[in-house]
Structure 1
Amino acid sequence: MSPLIGALTARAVLAWARRDSALDRTNFHGRTVSLAGGPALALGATVGAAAGGRHRRAAVVAGTISGAVGLYDDVVGNRPEHKAKGFRGHLGALREGRVTSGLVKIVGVGAGALAASALLPSRNRADVLLGAGVIAGTANLLNLLDLRPGRAIKAGAVIGAPLALGRDGSVAAGTLGAAAALLPADLGEEIMLGDAGANALGALLGVALVARTGPVGRALALAVLAGLTAASEKVSFTKVIEDTPWLRTLDELGRLPR
């Protein structure tokens, strides 16, 4: 039931949010797309993830906060006073007395991840911190991948599919239901997820992962996420995908011709 609830909510929010032309943007192909996909996915996935299972409070906290601060960055991030690149750039702006939307997003996602992790089963404070790192790290990873139509949702499906199985699978299942409902519009370059959608998608899948792992599993997941984040500073994920035939085929599946 949770995937259906997530899908229906996402489609309803999308229909409403697309009426706002202020959310229109130009994508990498020069096509006009709507950022309405972001709030649609954030709200749909959060509602779907919270529709069943034992971890609805953590899902609501992670999905709502990551989606909200992501949407804030989507809407105002292009303004000159908010311009900065990377974490170091945002910290540099703070030293100059500027609080960028990107810094608000980083702090917000981190705080939401910590609060969500505290609501999940944990043995001690270190376990909570590991969980927070996984939730925030997954949110960041999906955001890093959201550079081409459908890429973040496809990556989310790979991460979330095994997490949707079993009695604790409702968080991932509801999240993926909402994402699947928006995938055709994303691939068709009608909408884009933006930070709101990608961060919420990743954060909710992070909650699903943390809910099903103990300290060792969380530490391993965090190590992988940290390694991928560090690699993104040196290597273009898009170039790696385009240079790897099977990844390129999967990445382009369902997408509009160039």
Structure 2
Amino acid sequence: MAARKSRTAAFLTALGTTRGVYEVRRSRAPGEPARWRRSNYAGRTVDLYAGPATVLGAAAGSAPVGARGAVALAVLAAGACGAYDDRAGAGDPRRGFAAHLGALRQGEVTTGAVKLLGIGAAALAAGALLKERPVDRLLAGVVIAGGAHCVNLLDVRPGRACVGVLALGAPGLLRGGTAGALAAVPVGAAAAVVGADLGERTMLGDAGAHALGAALGAAVVAGNGRAGLAVHALGVIAGTAYGDRVGSR
């Protein structure tokens, strides 16, 4: 009963906060409205309000779970790095980690490099809060950062990232304790905006996609020991490498 209440509270908090922030942003957007508009893959104009909404929703949903602030740290850092790329990196034609790391070796700090290093550092810090042994902490950091990047790679068509988070997070709702409650966080946040995303009225952007992925990764970390962490770490590394190679073409 306690586990069910915890899952429900996390889900409703994430869903309600995300939806509330999204509606407030739509009615009273800060700054010039043009700052919050982008053209999607089909050339249609959509807003970016789902991004900050899901960041704040996922962070709020994780607060009562009791994971020592690890999930909120990972979500907020991933969302901040993604938001920076949404703003400053919109016109950068470079795609893929190799391109951004190559620029970094030449002394240029790109928005992609900021995302890679910033999310990686925050994920390792979150992993250190969630696990006790050094190897487990390292694997946890890889899973959280890899989850953030993998969900972002899905966000190339309307609703794809939200639907992916819902599908990947739903099995975790069957778990008890912290793992089940943490799984409810990205599921609730994604559920709040999936309709608007599929309807091509909004997009997650890098901010929302990275935040949802970090929350999903944290739920995986909470529900697995070393063997499970190793399997998931290999999975997100392979998925990120494949998506990075395909997306950079």
User: Considering only aligned residues, what root-mean-square deviation do their CA atoms show, in Å?
Assistant: 1.6
Judge conservation of contact 1:50–1:174 (CA < 8 Å) in 2.
no
> What residue in structure 2 maps to residue 93 of structure 1?
103
Judge conservation of contact 2:58–2:75 (CA < 8 Å) in 1.
yes
Does structure 1 residue 8 correspond to structure 2 residue 21?
no
The structural deviation recorded for 1:203 is 0.4
The structural deviation recorded for 1:57 is 0.8
Instruction: Tell me the distance in 2 between the aligned counterparts of 1:89 and 1:203.
Output: 23
SS in 1 for 2:130: coil
Does structure 1 residue 229 correspond to structure 2 residue 235?
no
> What residue in structure 2 maps to residue 180 of structure 1?
191
Judge conservation of contact 2:165–2:186 (CA < 8 Å) in 1.
no
SS in 1 for 2:69: helix
Residue range with higher mean Cα deviation, 104-113 or 222-231: 222-231
SS in 1 for 2:201: coil
- Equivalent residues, number: 232
Q: Deviations over 1:71-102 (max 9, x none)?
A: 010011024xx553211211222233321111
> What residue in structure 1 maps to residue 165 of structure 2?
156
Residue range with higher mean Cα deviation, 191-200 or 19-28: 19-28
1:133-152 matched pairs, under 5 angstroms: 133-152=142-161
Judge conservation of contact 2:96–2:245 (CA < 8 Å) in 1.
no
Instruction: Tell me the distance in 2 between the aligned counterparts of 1:235 and 1:88.
Output: 12
Selected match of 1:108 from 100, 112, 118: 118
The TM-score normalised by the length of structure 1 is 0.85
Query: Counterpart amino acid of 2:44?
Result: R
Q: Which runs of 5+ in 2 are unaligned?
A: 1-8
Instruction: Tell me the distance in 2 between the aligned counterparts of 1:196 and 1:233.
Output: 18
> What residue in structure 2 maps to residue 25 of structure 1?
38
Judge conservation of contact 2:10–2:184 (CA < 8 Å) in 1.
yes
Selected match of 1:35 from 37, 40, 48: 48
Does structure 1 residue 205 correspond to structure 2 residue 216?
yes
Instruction: Tell me the distance in 1 between the aligned counterparts of 2:17 and 2:37.
Output: 21
Judge conservation of contact 2:10–2:61 (CA < 8 Å) in 1.
yes
The structural deviation recorded for 1:232 is 2.2
Query: Counterpart amino acid of 1:54?
Result: G
Does structure 1 residue 45 correspond to structure 2 residue 93?
no
Instruction: Tell me the distance in 1 between the aligned counterparts of 2:148 and 2:39.
Output: 23
Judge conservation of contact 2:144–2:214 (CA < 8 Å) in 1.
yes
The structural deviation recorded for 1:234 is 4.7
Judge conservation of contact 1:23–1:75 (CA < 8 Å) in 2.
no
Instruction: Tell me the distance in 2 between the aligned counterparts of 1:186 and 1:179.
Output: 10
Judge conservation of contact 2:97–2:244 (CA < 8 Å) in 1.
no
Judge conservation of contact 2:131–2:140 (CA < 8 Å) in 1.
no
- In structure 2, relative to structure 1, the CA distance for the partners of 1:144 and 1:98 (3 Å cut) is same
> What residue in structure 2 maps to residue 194 of structure 1?
205
Instruction: Tell me the distance in 1 between the aligned counterparts of 2:136 and 2:131.
Output: 9
Query: Counterpart amino acid of 1:65?
Result: A
Query: Counterpart amino acid of 2:20?
Result: A
SS in 2 for 1:97: coil
Does structure 1 residue 55 correspond to structure 2 residue 87?
no
Does structure 1 residue 70 correspond to structure 2 residue 82?
yes
The TM-score normalised by the length of structure 2 is 0.88
Selected match of 1:120 from 108, 122, 130: 130
Instruction: Tell me the distance in 1 between the aligned counterparts of 2:106 and 2:236.
Output: 30
